[in-house]
Amino acid sequence: MNRYDTLSSWQTKELRQSHHFFNLHRATHPSRFTVTILISLAGILACQSAIVQAEPTAQKWLKPHKPDSTEAIHQQLPFYPSRASTDRPLKPEMFESPEVCKGCHGEIYQQWQRSVMAHSWKDPIYQALFKRASQATDGKVDNFCIACHSPIGMTSMNASAATLDQDDNLPGVNCEVCHNIREITGSDNGAYILAPNRDKHIKLGPRHDANSPYHQTEYSDLHTKSEFCSVCHNVSHPFNSTPIERTYDEWQESAYNEQGVQCQDCHMTPGPGKQTNPGKSAVMGKEREHIYSHAFSGGNSTLHQYFNDPIGAELAREMLHSAATVEFIALPESLVAGELATIQVKVSNVGAGHKLPTGFPEGREIWVDFTVRSSEQAPIYRSGAVVDGQTEPGTKSFKVTLGDKNGDVVDLNVWEVDRILSDTRILPHGYTIVEYTFLVPDNIHGKLSLEAKLNYWPFSQHLVDELLGEGELTVDIVTMTTATAQLSTEPSNALAKHTTDTESMKD
């Protein structure tokens, strides 16, 4: 477990030191009673240690425990309502530019430069939502948002929503952020400890034997585990704790966690199904069987397109193509004209170690676009079309629906969220079966063609147009996978009887 056994705020450093010296004095002058107590405590702690090791490696709140008073908040959370902390007051000059890292880590730099991480502050959807949230809450949520979109900006540059208009060039999630996070204090809302060390010039990473002529290196077990990702990929409402995003929890409760498959094993590879990536991390580095990719591939091809990154967009599509399957099940041998038909479609999560979809609940949506066509290709039934920038009513969608304190749907103003109204997403290794019932035309001839497209978008076109204005950004609808089938048709029983009777009269 990544233990953080002191208060998270650098302001309490002197208090911690005084406690240390007091305890040291007591330890060097123990009484017989104290020795007995210490022996008993040692046995208790040994048992507790065994229990702790059996628990999940990241909990919502490690030390410091969740504050329950204004005084505790000010003492424990220096960047409230985010849970980020530092080991001392930080200044911008304590961090290096990613271009410095580029000198030795050229390929990794190029991967990162195209990533969503690099664009985390400049993401236009984030900026538009952030401005709205800040204005609606009088700036109360500023640190909450900035903690994961510009950690350096928040901890050393006093960034706020006003910074968007004054200086739009704050660093996103860059090399200096990830490789200077020394510990975490929980698993949501930016619960990291950012601790740059320019004096000793230490960079933290996943290698025991890394060696650099420019900086010192230190192995960090945290960097090899999903817990590292949890601090920004679990999001709780800052004031009422409603679980808004739970990507880490979804993984933690899945078979992927039990099997030791970490977030890095899927999102820091060259692409789906590519488990090894031989090469060097740096120009003068060692040849290794696997180098972690810093493209941080996900499913947001729309954002990559916006930033003119076709390579990243295509990689995002590949990730989506590998995540799910769709198939028709229990198909009838034929359909009868003039009667109702029911078709079942099975959608399975076969490649994602979290729910499908995951993340940003106001936007993320997967849905089935189901169409039935006649032999002339004329559609006789459809469900799942996009109408006015949204999936049409009745669409079989997989998504989260958020609600406010009155139980009304929240589709944009996430700061108003008070509850989860519904969650139809698909669990890792899970599946969902959806049904479509439609009337087969009584004049149908020949075969009917069935098609079920599984589509995804990171946010609806309606939401984007609302935030940015029409025509500012076009959402990339990705067809993750498709199932097709053909069914023969039979005349209705009434028509068959009429035909038989007519033939009998002719005889």
Residue 50 CA, distance from chain mean position: 32
Residue 70 pLDDT: 84
- The amino acid present at 334, given as its one-letter code, is S
> Is the distance from CB of 256 to CB of 247 less than 8 angstroms?
no
* Per-run averaged pLDDT (10 residues), the chain, 507 residues: 36 38 39 38 37 48 77 88 96 96 96 97 96 97 98 96 85 97 96 91 95 94 97 96 96 97 96 91 94 96 97 98 98 95 98 97 96 87 98 98 96 94 98 98 91 98 97 97 96 58 50
pLDDT score of 232: 98
Q: What is the pLDDT of residue 58?
A: 63
Look at residue 445 in the predicted model and tell me its pLDDT: 82
- 173 token code pair: 């999630």
- What distance in Å separates the CA atoms of residue 8 and residue 2, rounded to the nearest whole number? 14
Residue 482: Cβ within 10 Å count: 12
What local confidence, expressed as pLDDT, does residue 59 receive? Answer: 76
Instruction: Specify the 3-state DSSP secondary structure of 227.
Output: helix
Contact 435, 393 (CB under 8 A): no
SS3 annotation, 324-336: EEEEEECCCCEEE
3-state secondary structure of 135: helix
The reported pTM is 0.85
Phi, psi of 444 (to 5 degrees): -75, 145
